[in-house]
Structure 1
Amino acid sequence: MSTKKVWFVTGASKGLGLSLVKRLLNEGYKVAATSRTVESLKKEVGSSENFLPLEVNVVDEKSVNDGITKTLAVFGSIDVVVNNAGYGQLGTLEELSDKESRENFDANIFGLLNVIRNVMPHFRNKRSGQFINISSIAGFEGQFPGWGIYNATKFAVAGLSEALAAETKSMGITTTVVYPGYFKTNFLLKGSLRFAEKPIADYKEARELDRAHIEDIPGNQPGDPEKAALAFIKLAESQNPPLHFFMGSDSYGMANNKMEALKNELSANEALSKSTDY
């Protein structure tokens, strides 16, 4: 009898999600994968008895619930959930409209919450399960001019993941928040990255970073999506998966730099910090 876990992966028609789905199927896992169009999944992955392509809009809770219900009907269980759906929104905090900002939160945060909320009854019932929530190094190190709203959504992924891990620990459910660096996927291409509708020229640092993400970075990312897929599988098969996982040498380096800066600020302001106690 197979002991292979059943995976539920959102945002699976491209990028890290697509690489993961293909690797999982190659290794004999059962995979339910979501995208906004089921045709895109079928085109990229093909067909297999172990593959369930699902047309799901993560912002629509009924759509999410329908996808999870169908997965349970077909595979009988869900063991690992990878919350990968979302997109990058560029634009400074002044430039982005309320609509642009809220739409990014809807996709990156409230969509993820819809999945968690609808999977949890199944996980609670069987007293096991694993969430792998995809943040970004921009969800730990926020000093990227013009990425403030996206940063905020990814910091939120980290914060709610920490709470989720604490809330479900006694149920045998684990959570890992993953902070990828730059991987050679189509994340920086049209469809996964949106720019401010009304840019303001005064923001020279943001415009330079915009230019870099269009001209310099695509094709030169250090991360290998195939190796990322293997890392996800190792996380899922670990007896004690980490709460925080920084994926890629660039992510690892930036995290270390941020922690060193925090340590320095703590030390420099220790007396002032403690001066507020009774």
Structure 2
Amino acid sequence: MDTKKVWFVTGASKGLGLALVKQLLNDGYKVAGTSRSLERLEKEVEPSTDFLPLEVDITDEESVSNAIDQAIESFGGIDVVVNNAGYGQLGTLEELTDRESRQNFDANVFGSLNVIRRVMPHLRSKKSGHIINVSSIAGLTGTFPGWGIYCATKFAVAGFTEALSAEIKEFGVSATVVYPGYFRTNFLDKGSLNLPQNPVVAYTEARNLEAAHVNDIKGNQPGDPEKAARVFIQLGESENPPLHFIMGEDAFGRAHDKIEVLQNELRANEVLSKSTTFANSK
């Protein structure tokens, strides 16, 4: 009897999602993978009875619902969900339009919520499962000029994953938020990273960081996506998966820096912080 878990992976045609799907299939898992382009997905992943390629608009609830139904019908169920689909949006808070900001939230936040909303009845009924939401180290520390909206979307992913973990625990379902650092994928390529439509020249730090990502960081990211894929699988097979998982040596360092900043500011402002308590409180 085949006891391997069935995976449902969004954003499967490139980046970490593609690396994960290929590794899962190589290891003998059954995988339903989604992409905005079915043609690209079928081009990237070799056809097999263990792989169900799905063209999905994650911002469309009906599209998401149909994909989940197809995966359950094809493989008998879903065990691990990886909400990986999304894209980067550069631009300072002043220069990004309302439309640019909302579109990034639609893909990075509401797309994952659509998947969660549609798959949870199935996971609740089987009283098992694991939802892995891909945030970013930019969802833990946001001091990157010109990345504010993207950071906000990834902070949101971290926040709702914490709430999700508490909500679904009673049904035997787990949730993990993954904070990747820089991995050598096409995330910094056009199509995965959008530049602001109306840049404001005065923001020199944002422009410099933008140029660094496009010209210097791209192609030199320290993280290996194939190793990341193996880590995702290990998380999916864990009996007691973590709620928070920092992925990558660079991300690990930035996480420690953020914790140190918080600890320092807590100590420096402890008296002022506690001065708000009612005088007669015990």
Deviation for aligned residue 1:2: 1.3
Identity rate of aligned residues, in percent?
68
Match of 1:90 in 2: 90
Amino acid paired to 2:100: E
TM-score (normalised: structure 1)? 1.00
> 2:37 — aligned with what?
37
2:200 paired residue number: 200
- TM superposition shift of 1:37: 1.3
SS across alignment from 2:241: coil
1:114-136, Cα deviation, whole Å (9 max, x unpaired): 00000000001001110000000
- Structure-2 residue corresponding to 1:241: 241
AA partner of residue 254 (structure 1): R
Mapped partners of 1:144, 1:172: distance in 2? 37
Instruction: Tell me what 2:211 maps to.
Output: 211
2:141 maps to 141
Q: What's the counterpart of residue 17 of structure 1?
A: 17
Deviations for 1:35-90, whole angstroms, at most 9, x for unmatched residues? 01111111000101000000000000000000000001100100000000000000
Aligned position for 1:157: 157
**In structure 1, what is the Cα distance between the partners aligned to 2:31 and 2:2?**
14
1:239 deviation in Å? 1.0
Q: Show the counterpart of 1:113.
A: 113
Counterpart residue type for residue 175 of structure 1? A
Q: Deviations over 1:2-40 (max 9, x none)?
A: 110000000000000000000000000000000011111
Q: Distance in 1 between the 2:157 and 2:167 partners?
A: 15
Q: Scaled by the length of structure 2, what TM-score is found?
A: 0.98
SS in 2 for 1:206: helix
Taking the aligned partners of 2:250 and 2:122, their CA distance within structure 1 comes to 36
Secondary structure of the residue that 2:3 maps to in structure 1? coil
Secondary structure of the structure 2 residue equivalent to 1:133: strand
Deviation at 1:113, TM superposition (A): 0.4
Report the AA paired with residue 134 of structure 2.
I
Q: Which runs of 5+ in 2 are unaligned?
A: none
Q: What SS does the aligned partner of 1:52 have? A: strand
SS of the equivalent of 2:52 reads strand
Cα distance in 1 for partners of 2:67, 2:168 equals 23
Instruction: Tell me if 1:132 matches 2:136.
Output: no
2:216, 2:55 → 1: CA distance? 34
Alignment pair present for 1:251 and 2:263: no
Matched, 1:166 2:163: no
In structure 1, give the amino acid aligned to 2:127.
Answer: R
CA distance in 2: counterparts of 1:97 and 1:219, whole angstroms: 29
> RMSD of the TM alignment (CA)?
0.4
| 1:12 counterpart letter in structure 2 | A
In structure 2, what residue type is equivalent to 1:160?
F
* 2:71 is aligned with 1:71: yes
1:155, distance to aligned residue in structure 2 (A): 0.0
- Residue 250 (structure 1) shift: 0.2
Q: Hey, what's the Cα distance between the residues in 2 that align with 1:214 and 1:156?
A: 25
Equivalent-residue separation in structure 2 for 1:14 and 1:130 (angstroms): 22
Deviation of 1:226 (Å): 0.3
Paired positions, count: 278
Alpha-carbon distance in structure 2 between the residues aligned to 1:190 and 1:200: 20
Matched, 1:265 2:262: no
| Counterpart-to-counterpart distance in 1, 2:104 and 2:246 | 23
What SS is found at the alignment partner of 2:255?
helix
Q: Partner of 2:7 in structure 1?
A: 7
Distance in 2 (CA, whole Å) between partners of 1:146 and 1:37 is 29
Deviations 1:155-174 (A, max 9, x none): 00000000000001111010
